Structure 1
Amino acid sequence: MALTLHVDGARWRAAQDAAIAANPGLVPVVKGNGYGFGREVLYAEANRLRVTMIAVGTYAEVPGALAGFSGDVLVMEPFRAAIHAAIHAATQAGLPSVDDGRLVHTITTRVDLDGLLAANPAARTVVEGLTSMGRFGAPAARVGDLVAAGRGEGVTLHLPLGSGHVDEISRFVEAVGGIRPFFVSHTTADEVAALRRRFPEHRFAARVGTDLWLADRAAYEMRSHVLDVRPLAKGDRVGYRQRPQAAGHLVVVSGGTSHGVAMESPASAATARSRAIAVAEGMLEAVHRVRSPFTVGGTMPRFAEPPHMQCSLLALPDGVAPPSVGDTVPVRMRLTTAYPDAVVIE
């Protein structure tokens, strides 16, 4: 019994093909949990798309990417000479070798560039510019010098979510000078097209993850197996915490915290409505009435108690027809934090 991601392969791949057609030169991002599909599945899809480069998040992801993908691999986290040296000293192994000719490293400082070139004089690099995202990068005035010092292959820019990035990217293009490829994140196809019209001598390549792999939400569904069902009388106590339950049925389903069930990132609560929702959900949690992401009998029952590591206990209200053991029920999950037991591409 398992938590399984079911994928309509033809529909999912059609969405990928459409994204590539709309944004020529797109660089697929394959990082973390592989957007719920697993990185190995996405390496194979990137090969199918015949792209020449993918981007990964960290150096720890490099070995799998080099083994699973046939083209170049851009590492989006910056190379840090001190971190590589410290890990090597602690483990006598270190992070993956920087010698592979298909690797493209991200540089933000001269000291790290010097450390990388000392380890591999032929290392391929791009220079990250410090955008309004404010995460890491070199100020625009220094980017050109770093590119020249490392014989860099271009500039990479990580932008905030939203739109309106053309002017900010343009400032970097004008500050850096020369003809450079630019790798940009969180831009739309229209923004990239506008940049190409404004700077026809430059190459702009969008790095895309979510809008490539998760473009068509109707193409995939997470499903959970029903592991057990039993009637509940009012006041029956269940679970580790022995909380009393209302009358109905206890439904035990596959999928727990190890799969990412009910694991959420902090909400931005940017609007009055989202703040009100956050307050309401907090009040429900305080009285142990948290709605689960599982849909059973047309309803989303509450958790009988917080999810376990690999299964969840649901309190199905009285009057709702219970499922049978072995049935599957859909689960509404954020795939960027999901770790299913299996991925079935049909």
Structure 2
Amino acid sequence: MSLTLTVDGERWRRHLREVAEATPGLVPVAKGNGYGFTLGRLARRTQWLADQGLGCDTLAVGTYDELPHVATRYDGSLLVLTPWRPFGAALELDPALDRRVIHTVSRTEDVADLLDRRPGARFVLERATSMLRHGMTARGLWAAAREVAARPGARVEGVALHLPLAHGAHLTEVRRLVNDVVAAELDLRTIWVSHLSAGELAELRASYPDLTFRPRIGTDLWLGDRGALRVTATVLDVHEVERGDSYGYRHRTAPKAGHILVVSGGTAHGIGLEAPTGDASIRARAATVARGGLDAAGFVRSPFSIDGKQRLFAEPPHMQASMLFLPHGARVPEVGEQVDVRVRYTATAFDRVVVS
């Protein structure tokens, strides 16, 4: 009766090992909903990689509030990707984690503030990239370098670069940003990066042999082998309907004879809640228009598939269940049967995660 993520454990673990072996300096990322697996499970799996001698001496989390979910399941360093600010959860850090946490500092003025509050804090300086989310300008980085130089006890552990999602197109930008780091005259040898391809990393390591590049990887690590993952929902009820019969919260009427299926999985799981897409192509826009037309007519394609065909929502999904319309002539699944569900893992909360 659950929305379940089933994982082919051996295949998934093999993929994790292969990525770790092929990625020197790997920093696994566990944030948000843990890419569907939960933060705790990803922390344990990172510890498993570390115990096998596959690196992973640092685990990255998204926010300070996520630290308690991973700190007891992984014993290495913990990099917080959200920049430190002189307010909120950053100031409520458990003192027991002081030596393990690596803060991200993205504003020049925050360097002094952080060190005034925590003189022994470990941190990385974030340089702004073309993504323009967080980070210092070149001038800001140089000013931060002067602040760090004035504090001999400062434990700055590198410079962070958060790049856009455009694999294979970052070398020119990264080289320019690395030159800014060198010009800042910081005694640093580590560059923490995201969204670089294996080829780009290899070229950068060859170009800057005196620097260490540490790739922060989430999606390609945990979700890189989709064939190892299967999401299913349970058929909870089946109701035969004739054309014109009413059903659901809103008393919609059946457009023709068929069956109403009630399946597990609803808005509480993320079903039917669509995140904005990054695809701006004409095809993607046409698909959006088409979906809007279906919605206006009362027919919206659901992520639930029966016998390989995506079925329509009979009405908008409920909190923990969804109603589907199955037209006459289609095979009607039995109550208790599992049906496949296509989901966005980073936006889905599963009732159960089963790893073989």
- Given the two structures, how large is their TM-score scaled by the length of structure 2? 0.91
**In 1, distance between residues paired with 2:95 and 2:243?**
61
Counterpart mapping for 1:83-102 below 5 A: 83-84=88-89, 94=92, 96-97=94-95, 100-102=98-100
Query: Which secondary structure does the structure 2 equivalent of 1:54 belong to?
Result: strand
- Could you say which residue in structure 1 is the equivalent of 2:160? 156
1:84, distance to aligned residue in structure 2 (A): 5.0
* More deviation, 142-151/249-258: 142-151
Whether the aligned pair in 1 keeps the contact of 2:108 and 2:143 (CA below 8 Å) is: no
Query: Which secondary structure does the structure 2 equivalent of 1:154 belong to?
Result: strand
Whether the aligned pair in 1 keeps the contact of 2:189 and 2:211 (CA below 8 Å) is: yes
1:171, distance to aligned residue in structure 2 (A): 1.2
Residue identity matched to 2:215: A
1:260, distance to aligned residue in structure 2 (A): 0.9
- Given the two structures, how large is their TM-score scaled by the length of structure 1? 0.94
- For residue 300 of structure 1, the aligned residue among 303, 310, 315 is 310
Whether the aligned pair in 2 keeps the contact of 1:55 and 1:207 (CA below 8 Å) is: yes
Instruction: State how many pairs are aligned.
Output: 339
Counterpart mapping for 1:30-179 below 5 A: 30-50=30-50, 51-84=56-89, 94=92, 96-97=94-95, 100-147=98-145, 149=148, 150-163=154-167, 164-177=169-182, 178-179=187-188
Q: Percent identity?
A: 46
- For residue 340 of structure 2, the aligned residue among 307, 326, 330 is 330
- Could you say which residue in structure 1 is the equivalent of 2:287? 277
Whether the aligned pair in 2 keeps the contact of 1:301 and 1:317 (CA below 8 Å) is: no
Whether the aligned pair in 1 keeps the contact of 2:108 and 2:141 (CA below 8 Å) is: no
1:114, distance to aligned residue in structure 2 (A): 2.0
**In 1, distance between residues paired with 2:95 and 2:286?**
49
* More deviation, 108-117/204-213: 108-117
1:154, distance to aligned residue in structure 2 (A): 0.1
- For residue 231 of structure 1, the aligned residue among 240, 246, 268 is 240
1:141, distance to aligned residue in structure 2 (A): 3.2
**In 1, distance between residues paired with 2:283 and 2:292?**
14
- For residue 194 of structure 1, the aligned residue among 185, 188, 203 is 203
Query: Which secondary structure does the structure 2 equivalent of 1:184 belong to?
Result: strand
**In 2, distance between residues paired with 1:96 and 1:302?**
48
Whether the aligned pair in 1 keeps the contact of 2:230 and 2:340 (CA below 8 Å) is: yes
Unaligned 5+ residue runs, structure 1? 89-93
Residue identity matched to 2:160: T
Query: Which secondary structure does the structure 2 equivalent of 1:77 belong to?
Result: coil
Unaligned 5+ residue runs, structure 2? 51-55, 149-153
Residue identity matched to 2:297: V
Residue identity matched to 1:278: T
**In 2, distance between residues paired with 1:158 and 1:287?**
42
